[in-house]
A and B are shown apart, each in its own frame.
Chain A
Amino acid sequence: MTAQPPDPDAQFAAAPERPQILAPPPQRSRGMAMLIEHPTLWIGLALLVLVTLMAILAPLIAPHDPAALNPAFRVKPPSAEAWFGTDMLGRDIFSRTVYGARVSLIVGAGVAVCASIFGLAIGVLSGFLRWADNIVMRVMDGLMSIPAILLAIALMTLMRGGSVFNVILAITIAEIPRVARLTRSVVLSVREQPYVEAGTACGTSTLGIIWRHIMPNTLAPLTVQATYICASAMITEAILSFIGAGMPSSVPSWGNIMAEGRALWQVKPSIVFFPAIFLSVTVLAVNLLGDGLRDAVDPRLAKQV
């Protein structure tokens, strides 16, 4: 050795003092810091919380039964009695819009969760098993080549009949390939990391490697992707309902309200207008949340868009 430290033993003797060199843990929690640094995150989150509260408290907020007919009081403009006016059957559009948030949120969240879980499983599988990769990813390419909305319409037709479950299932199948691709790309890059090799050298099983080393790394990009999927699922649900392929027309969903207002669009645009505003704001909220999350999770991507 050409360069000896002055006294190597001093290094070891000093060991117990070491923690003092390390910075004290930050006082503010990580979550709070994230919110303050990324305004889009908290604006999106705040809007989404408002819409969610509206959906949960719908029976308290809505002044009327969303399904109650009132033929004598139909196609009225917004007034103190019916804030957003009434539709062609005299139903209160404000109450229907408030209840409609439930469908959108359930479908959005349901699709985001289901597509993430299945997409993650498929992505990890094809990232890890080389023989499965070619087959699985070609199937995913095939699914991706069909526009999501067309695929969802086709699946809804196959399943005969709209229900929340069927709508979630149809949109999930259309969204899975995107998650699978994302997960696969993360798995392919993480599995080459030296710490994965070190894990193998430590005797960790393949499942242990996936669970402890690879999955945690997919979590951040997956969360961001899930918010985008949530937003796009809400739009797809509205489109499905609008063209009559989604929720049964008895259910007040934003797509259904718009579909019913379509015929009267030229005389009473307010029927379409209000649910459309709510849909736009909710989708915007989820997208803002997603953008904020992406910036917080991966600062390198933040300035690109």
Chain B
Amino acid sequence: MTDAPHLIEVRNLVKRFPIGGGLFSRSHKVVHAVSDVSFHIARGETLSLVGESGCGKSTVGKCLARLIPLTEGEITLDGQRIDGLSRSQMKPVRKRLNVVFQDPFSSLNPRMTVEDLVAEPLRSHGMARTRAERHARVGDLLEKVGLAREAMARMPHQFSGGQRQRICIARALASEPDIIICDEAVSALDVSVQAQIINLLMDLQKDLGLALLFISHDLAVVEHMSDRIAVMYLGRIMEIADRESLFRHPRHPYTRALLSAVPLPDPEADRDRAVLTGDVPSPIDPPSGCFFRTRCPMATDRCAAEVPALRDMGAGHMSACHYAEDV
């Protein structure tokens, strides 16, 4: 893995949040938000990160964008380490990597015009020197995301959720990045608007050769737009595979349970559902061995003793289960 042909390469990413602990009371408890996560994203590829709420998928995205510091691990962009860079050193990296957030209402400053919002990356990366140049670029970007040029004179509150997400996408595109991290970018939107935004993202990706890290909990959306999918549970990657391979032949009991939880349009459909019992364990005190073993129908003593490594099951299909062959 040292030849680094990949755009993004994440190795053994760990993020722990200390909890409590004020000036006088030092608490040693930590939340293990992300444990030992490794993956890569190729140029122009969409990798989806799925998992239920609180499994650390957004934390991975934020660490990758260096919006929060990571505890351990390596992140490289085109072979260059970006995990230890200072704020000013990150600046050229931020030109190549931008983020679209979940909530299109709070991620646009309500006091700025659309022009100022979309021009923010242009300004900070010195990409448009004059006002006229900025004006023209912002207009082009708005058209690219399906909004009218005239929209730039308006304030964000004059737009609907879907339109605001388009503004966010225009802003993310402004610095001509290589990769955009979509942190639950469509989950706050109506289903029909979701579809529009997803199609927009896919069109843009095709036109501009963008790579996407698509963080989502919606398997239907993920199936529609991903090249590869990584399934997370309690801060670990359980399985990572091509879309086809993951949906047809899941190699992890958790993925199987997730897939069987997707609602089908036909209520009469006969299905063999793998229903999970119990709750997700606390990330403050995760179980030993395999994190999923407390809810896994296949768990044995070995699962409590050994942490299963991600193993290649062939053709890049990786699973972190001791019994992946039997799933």
Contacts known (A8-B199, A213-B109, A217-B111); A203 close to B125, Cβ less than 8 A: yes
For A15, what are the chain B residues with a Cβ–Cβ distance below 8 Å? 143, 146-148
| Interface hit among A59-67, A190-198, A285-293 | A190-198
- For the complex, give the distance between the alpha carbons of A193 and B108 in Å: 9
Tell me if B6 is interfacial: C-beta within 8 Å of chain A.
Answer: no
For the residues of A in contact with B, the DSSP-based class is helix
Contact between A202 and B220, CB atoms less than 8 A apart: no
Q: How far is the CB of B60 from chain A (nearest CB, A)?
A: 15
Q: Mark B88-112, 1 if CB is under 8 A from A, else 0.
A: 1011001100110111001111011
Tell me if B30 is interfacial: C-beta within 8 Å of chain A.
Answer: no
A194: which of B106, B191, B265 is its contact (CB, 8 Å)?
B106
> Taking CB as reference atom, which chain A residue is nearest B87?
A206
- Size class of the A contact interface (CB-based, 8 Å): 20 to 34
> Taking CB as reference atom, which chain B residue is nearest A198?
B107
Tell me if A131 is interfacial: C-beta within 8 Å of chain B.
Answer: no
Contact between A202 and B154, CB atoms less than 8 A apart: no
Q: How far is the CB of B122 from chain A (nearest CB, A)?
A: 9
B101: which of A198, A204, A217 is its contact (CB, 8 Å)?
A198
- In B132-148, the 8 Å CB interface with A consists of 143, 146-148
A4: which of B95, B103, B195 is its contact (CB, 8 Å)?
B195
Contacts known (A15-B147, A213-B109); A201 close to B124, Cβ less than 8 A: no
Q: How far is the CB of A129 from chain B (nearest CB, A)?
A: 14
> Taking CB as reference atom, which chain B residue is nearest A16?
B148
For B198, what are the chain A residues with a Cβ–Cβ distance below 8 Å? 1
Q: How far is the CB of A265 from chain B (nearest CB, A)?
A: 52
- For the complex, give the distance between the alpha carbons of A213 and B196 in Å: 30
Contacts known (A202-B124, A216-B111); A22 close to B154, Cβ less than 8 A: yes
Q: Which residues of chain A have a CB within 8 Å of any CB of chain B?
A: 1-5, 8, 11-12, 15-19, 22-23, 134, 193-195, 197-206, 208, 212-213, 216-217
Known: A3-B195, A15-B146. 16 other contacts (CB 8 A): A5-B196, A15-B148, A18-B151, A19-B148, A194-B106, A197-B107, A198-B99, A199-B109, A200-B67, A202-B94, A202-B174, A205-B91, A206-B87, A212-B109, A212-B112, A217-B111
